[in-house]
Amino acid sequence: MKTSIIKNAKDQLYRVKFKLDRKVLVFLFFLVLSTMFWFLNELSKDTTTLITYPVKYNNIPGNKVLVRELPDEFDLLVKATGFSLLKHKLAGRLTPIVFDISHYSYNTLSDGSASKFFILTSGSLARVNQQFGSDIKVLDISPDTLIFEFDERVQKKVPVKINTDVEFGQQYMIGGKITSQPDSVIISGPGVVIDTIEWVETQSQKFTSVDQDIRKNIGLITIENVDFSTRKVIVIVPVERFTEARFSVPVNVVNIPDTLELKTFPGSINVTCRVPLSDYDKLTVNLFRAIVDYSVVKGNYSNKLKVRLISTPEYVTNIQIYPISVEFIVEKK
CATH of the domain at 193: 2.170.120.40
Q: State the pLDDT confidence band at 16, using cuts at 50, 70 and 90.
A: very low
- Using the 3D structure, point to which of 75, 109, 143 is the last residue of a domain: 143
Residue 193 lies in a domain: yes
Q: Looking at the domain assignment, is residue 33 inside a domain?
A: no
Residue 191 structural domain: 153-237
Res. 211: pLDDT tops 70: yes
The answer to whether residue 31 sits within a structural domain is no
Task: Say how far apart CA 137 and CA 109 lie, in whole Å.
Answer: 31
Is the pLDDT reported for residue 13 higher than 50? no
- Mean pLDDT highest for which of 127-131, 145-149, 325-329? 325-329
How far, in Å, CA of 91 to CA of 54, rounded? 13
Q: Which of 27-41, 106-120, 159-173, 301-315 comes out lowest in average pLDDT?
A: 27-41
Count of domains for the chain: 3
pLDDT band at 265 (very low <50, low <70, confident <90, very high): very high
Q: State residue 129's pLDDT score.
A: 84
Per residue, the 3-state secondary structure of 250-297, as one string, reads EEEEECCCCCEEEEEECCEEEEEEEEEHHHHHHCCHHHCEEEEEHHHC
Of 237, 270, 296, the last residue of a domain is 237
Apex 317 CA angle, 316 and 320, nearest 5: 110
Domain end residue (candidates: 143, 169, 203): 143
Quick check: is 23 in a domain? no
* Confidence check: pLDDT of 71 > 80: yes
Amino acid code (one letter) for 47: T
pLDDT for residue 141 is more than 90: no
Question: Which residues, other chains included, contact 11 with Cβ-Cβ below 8 Å and sequence gap of 6+?
Answer: none
214 and 299 within one domain: no
The answer to whether residue 186 scores a pLDDT higher than 90 is yes
193 and 259 both lie in a single domain: no
CA angle 51, 55, 61 (to 5 degrees): 165
132 and 75 inside one domain: yes
